[in-house]
Amino acid sequence: MNSGYAEAILEPPGGEMSEIWLAWTILIVGYVLPLTHVALSPSAGPWRMPPEARCPFSPRIGWLVIVLFLGPIGWIMFMTRRKKK
């Protein structure tokens, strides 16, 4: 087996490595950090739904679903709708 062939497979040429880092950065900044913020924020509401509620999801789970589907747009929605202290 030619060692040059193996090196070509293991190391992407030129700018592809920066594209990989860019993709991971967008994924982490656009989805993971907003999801973590909503999950840990006290203003996101309780983890359990209130007893009188008819919806099967708690407010925090609802926000997590919105942020998961909409990404940064859902996080901006959360930031504008949370209670000001």
**Per-residue model confidence (pLDDT) at position 78:** 93
Token pair 């990404």 is found at 71
- Kindly report, residue by residue over 16-36, the tens digit of the pLDDT: 667 888 888 888 888 899 999
Summarised one tens digit per residue, pLDDT across range 66-80 is: 999 998 899 999 999
pLDDT, tens digit, for every residue of 32-78? 999 999 999 988 888 888 888 888 888 899 999 999 999 889 999 99
Q: What is the DSSP-derived secondary structure letter of residue 14?
A: T
Spatial separation of the C-alpha atoms in residues 63 and 32, rounded to whole Å: 14
Task: Give the model's pLDDT for residue 6.
Answer: 54
Asked, for residue 66, whether it belongs to a domain, the answer is yes
User: DSSP letters along 25-71, please?
Assistant: HHHIIIIIHHHHHHHH-GGG--SSPPTT--SSS-HHHHHHHHHHHHT
Please answer whether residues 64 and 78 qualify as being in contact, where contact means their C-beta atoms are separated by less than 8 angstroms.
Answer: no
> Would you say residue 38 lies in a domain?
yes
Residue 31 belongs to what domain range?
Answer: 15-81
Higher pLDDT, 9 or 67: 67
Domain count, the chain: 1
